[in-house]
Amino acid sequence: MNLPHKAHVAIVDGEKFIVMRNSGQSLDPKLENAEKPNLSTTNYSAGVKHQDDVGRHLGSSDLEELAHGAAAAEWLNAKAVANEIDDLLVIADPKTLGEMRRHYHSELEKRLVGEIAKTMTGEPTDRIEKAIVSA
């Protein structure tokens, strides 16, 4: 994947949210930490969609995780609307990424350079860079 210089990279799962920045070239990303946003998980709108008994009993519909994904999207939306993000790559586990997409603002969508549906939180930076290159 071609990741523009100075692009933001949001790495998200149901519990963690890290924002990094590409200080390298577009085909040779070098990520550095930008910030670790402190999110308030108040948007439980996914609860309307995930009210099935089977999902709750099997543990496949954790509303806290989905609310965290929604909060991450809302934080990114605010940064995009404020012109604090120009280019953005989102890396998230498939369930979180699906929830985040439901909350993307049109300004954020304009700034997306890509998405990777993979759990990468907790991975070393060099692995994340390799995942970006191979995507």
At 65 the pLDDT is 83
Name the token pair of 36.
Answer: 């670790």
What is the model's pLDDT at position 42?
61
User: What is the pLDDT at residue 20?
Assistant: 97
Residues of the chain with pLDDT under 50: 47-48, 50-52, 54
Phi then psi dihedrals of residue 46, to 5 deg: -65, -20
Residue whose C-alpha is closest to residue 49's, from 59, 63, 38: 63
At 63 the pLDDT is: 75
Q: Are 8 and 87 in contact (CB under 8 A)?
A: yes
Q: What does the alpha-carbon distance between residue 44 and residue 64 come to, in Å, rounded to a whole number?
A: 8
User: Angle 94-101/63-81 helices, nearest 10 degrees?
Assistant: 50
For the chain, the farthest-separated pair of C-alpha atoms sits apart, in whole angstroms, at 48
**16-52 b/e with 16+ CB inside 10 Å = b?**
bbbbbbbeeeeeebebeebeeeebebebeebeeeeee
**Residue 105 near residue 80 (C-beta atoms within 8 A):** yes
CATH for 8-37+45-134 is: 3.30.420
